[in-house]
Amino acid sequence: MTSREKQNVPVTMPALWRFGLLLGIMLSAGSCGGGADDLRHDLQHGDLAARKRAVHKILRSAPATDAYLGDVVAALGDPELRFTVMSELGLVVDDAVPLLVAALQDPGLKRYARQTLEMLGQAATPGLLRAVERLPVAVHGPAVALLIAHDRDAVPGLIGLLASKNEMARESAAGALRAIGAIGLPDLIKHCATESMDVRRLAIRAVSGLAETIAPSAPGLLAMLGDPVHAKAAVFSLALIGARTVPDLVGALALPELQAAAGETLELIGEPARQPLHELEKTARGDGRAVLADMAARIRKRLR
C-alpha cells in the first residue's frame, strides 16, 4: 500500500506540515470537481487560488492522477505556490521522494527540492536509500548528504546497501557510514550483529577509521564473547578494532565457551590472523591437541 493510499501523515510532522494539512482542508471546501487534465491546466495556468486547489486535489487523488505528481514537484519553482507544495508533499512521501531526488539535478529546483527533503526528515530515508541504489550516480552525492543529515536513522538502510549489486551504491553507502561516524557506531554494531559475514566485512572496511573509538573497550568485549546475548555485537566490535585483538582471540580458541565466537571474529579480521593461526596449529599439533590444531587450520582456510 502506497503512502497515498494510507494518507500517512506522521504524528511528529513539523508545524509547517500541519499548517499545510489545515490549508488543504480549507481549500477543499471551495474546490469543485474536474478531471486530471483540468487539474493540470489549473496548476499551470490558473490564478493562485486555483493552483493551490489543484495541488490539494492531486495530492489527495486516486492513482489516476499519479502522472501529475511530477507537475506538483515542478511547481516548487513557482514562488507563489512553493510554500503550499512543500507543506503538502508530506502526505505522499513514498511517491514524492524519487521525484524530489531527481529534482536535485535541476538548477532551478534543487534548492527547494533539498529543503523539502529536509522537511520530510526521517520519513524520506527509505526513498533516499532507494534513490542511491536505483537512480543515476549524479544524484548520489545530494542523496547521501541528506542521509548523513539523518544520522542514526539512516544506518540500518545504509548497511543494507553495502550488499547492493550496484557498485556505486555500495561506495556511496560506505562513504555515508564513514561520514556519520561515531554517532552511528552503536547502531552499526547493533544491526551488523545479525548480518551475513560478507556484509559485516564490508561494514568493517567502511568504518575502519572508527576502530580507535572502541579500542579501549577490547578487554570487556573479549569477556562478552561468551555472553549469548551480546556475543554477536562483541564479535563485530572486536573485528572492527582489528589486528591488535588477534593474540587474545587466538588464545580464546582454547576455551570451549569462547572458541566459536573467537573463531568468527578472527575470520572477520582476515589476513592479520593468518600467521598467528598457523603458529597455533603447529604448536597444538606438537602438544597433541589435535582438535585445537584442526580448528585453527579451518579458520585459516576461511580467511580472506
Three-class HEC string of the chain = CCHHHHCCCCCCCCHHHHHHHHHHHHHHHCCCCCCHHHHHHHHHHCCHHHHHHHHHHHHCCCHHHHHHHHHHHHHHHCCCCHHHHHHHHHHHHHHHHHHHHHHCCCCCCHHHHHHHHHHHHHHHHHHHHHHHHHCCHHHHHHHHHHHHHCHHHHHHHHHHHCCCCCHHHHHHHHHHHHHHHHHHHHHHHHHHCCCCHHHHHHHHHHCHHHHHHHHHHHHHHHHHCCCCCCHHHHHHHHHHHCHHHHHHHHHHCCCCCCHHHHHHHHHHHCHHHHHHHHHHHHHHHHCCCHHHHHHHHHHHHHCC
Domain match, 111 and 212 both:
no
Question: What is the longest distance spanned by two Cα atoms in the chain?
Answer: 90
Which amino acid does the sequence have at 291?
A: V
Q: Can you give the pLDDT at residue 299?
A: 96
Last residue of a domain, one of 116, 132, 151: 116
Burial category of 122 from C-beta neighbours within 10 Å (exposed 0-12, middle 13-18, buried 19 and up): middle
Instruction: Return the number of other C-beta atoms located less than 10 Å from residue 188's C-beta.
Output: 25
Q: pTM, whole model, 2 decimals?
A: 0.60
The answer to whether 87 and 17 have CB atoms below 8 angstroms apart is: yes
Evaluate the CA torsion angle 65, 67, 68, 69 in order and state its sign: positive
The answer to whether 174 and 147 have CB atoms below 8 angstroms apart is: no
Q: Is residue 77 part of a domain?
A: yes
282 Cβ contact list (under 8 Å, min separation 6): 293
Task: Give pLDDT tens digits along the chain (304 positions).
Answer: 444 444 443 433 343 333 343 334 333 433 444 455 777 788 888 888 888 888 888 887 755 455 678 888 888 888 888 888 887 887 787 788 888 888 888 888 888 888 888 888 878 888 888 877 776 666 677 777 777 777 778 888 888 888 888 888 888 888 888 888 888 888 888 888 878 898 999 899 888 888 988 999 999 999 999 998 889 999 999 999 999 999 999 999 999 999 999 999 999 999 999 999 999 999 999 999 999 999 999 999 999 8
Q: Is residue 202 part of a domain?
A: no
Q: Is residue 237 part of a domain?
A: yes
Q: Is residue 161 part of a domain?
A: no
Q: Can you give the pLDDT at residue 290?
A: 96
Q: Is residue 164 part of a domain?
A: no
What interhelical angle do 140-149 and 167-180 show, nearest 10?
Answer: 30
Cα separation of 42 and 36, whole Å?
10
The answer to whether 163 and 197 have CB atoms below 8 angstroms apart is: no
Q: Considering only CA atoms, which of 82, 152, 66, 151 is closest in space to residue 114?
A: 82
**Rounded (10°) CA dihedral 203, 208, 210, 212:** 140
Q: What are the grid coordinates assigned to 230, written together?
A: 551480546
Last residue of a domain, one of 75, 90, 116: 116
State the Rg of the chain over Cα. 26
Please state the domain count of the chain: 2
**Owning domain of residue 215:** 207-304
Last residue of a domain, one of 69, 97, 116: 116
Domain match, 8 and 107 both:
yes
Locate cell 534543487: which residue? Answer: 110
